[in-house]
A and B are shown apart, each in its own frame.
Chain A
Amino acid sequence: MPPPMPGQKLELPGVKYIIAVASGKGGVGKSTVAANLALALHMHGQRVGLMDADIYGPSVPMMFGLGLVDQTKTPFPIEKFGLSLMSMGFLVDPNQAIIWRGPKVAQAVGSFLGQINWGELDFLIIDLPPGTGDAQLTLSQAAPLTGALIVTQPAEVSLIDARKGVRMFEEVRVPILGIIENMSYLVATDGSKHTPFGSGGGKKLASEIGVPFLGEIPIDQMVSTCGDSGEPIVRKHPEHAVSKAYTELAATMLREVPKLTAAGLPAVDLG
């Protein structure tokens, strides 16, 4: 099958909901949120795929204890912890930089979506790279996205960029499912709650743009330790407070996503 052309609409008939996890700013924990949310949805009995659209800096392989694979022998997507996974990190040595111009990124993202047999899925979670560049635009134009989740930190500097992400989705009319505030607070050993990045940023953004605020996810060293060791916290420590936050988030999505009725545009009768 040839790679999809720019602007070509991709069909994923076996996938019920395609959700993009986005942020304007890098470093807010978007990949961590995408991976843990995907696992939390799977723990709710859903069939879930996770597509890492961060071509330049893929993180799915490390978070799932995977690495470079022999692409001539490995069928994609790769199955791990019950999820179907695809990432640029399976194809390119992590020590090698991917130095590509935009059209090639767009083509790779299009291929991940259109040339891989995702099979029957309830959710395909797409972990977007930060910013509003080629990968985001390709997906918004070519993929039948159900909606987008915006991840932000509570700090104002993170909100500036998150707003840009929101505007991009509004521009291409992809519904915003809601705002997730990551790294909201940390609980010290004495039980006291601290907010190193300030508080209320996510709620402020949600009310500003009129979308639901989906929840706060606390900071905990365990999150990055689990991610780095190849088993996200939701799976390794399902009883942890952070995991429970993700389980609740997944439950909210299961309740709310089916209500979305963003029907596509009608076909044109050129007679």
Chain B
Amino acid sequence: MTTGTAQPLKPLSLKKDGDGLRIEWNDGATTFAPFRALRKSCPCASCTEDVGKPIDPFRVLSAQEAAAGAPVPVGMKPVGFYAYQITWNDGHDTGIYPIELLRSLGENVSPR
């Protein structure tokens, strides 16, 4: 009683590794996605709207954003069966990253 398609792509384990996320997948692959790339590709409505817009030189960073430094997730929890929601150290937490996006943002690396 499942959909007749092949086994869907699924992460088996997700672990912080230095400045990125190492993910082991059910198809045997292991990927590494830098946090910077994940933060930059946040799929939430406000971030996707900002893509393509010129940078506003007068935008004042919030105290949390200014103090954050390099992007690091402070929380990452599953959303249903299909995605993860990341809370970043700059306070941003509206991005829901589907499994396929997490896979596409990572580079294949050799498993440990």
Contacts and interface: CB of A to CB of B under 8 A. Distances in A.
Given A7-B79, A140-B80, A175 B3 contact: yes
A15 to B, nearest CB: 16
Nearest to B22: A269
Q: Which of A175, A211, A257, A269 has the most CB of B within 10 A?
A: A269
A9 B77 contact: yes
Prevailing SS type, chain A contact patch: loop
Which 8 interchain pairs have the tightest Cβ spacing?
Answer: A210-B4, A173-B81, A265-B78, A173-B82, A268-B76, A268-B14, A269-B15, A256-B1
B12 interface: yes
Given A210-B5, A257-B1, A172 B82 contact: yes
Interface residues on B, range: 20 to 34
Nearest to B73: A270
Interface of A: 7, 9, 140-143, 145, 147, 170-178, 209-212, 256-257, 259-260, 262, 264-271
Interface string B3-17: 111001011111110
Most buried by A among B76, B78, B79, B81: B81
A205 B112 CA distance: 44
Contact of A211 (B1, B21, B74): B1
Contacts of A264: 78, 81
B2 A267 contact: no
Given A142-B80, A171-B82, A211 B15 contact: no
A262 B3 CA distance: 11
A170 B3 contact: yes
Contacts of B15: 268-269, 271
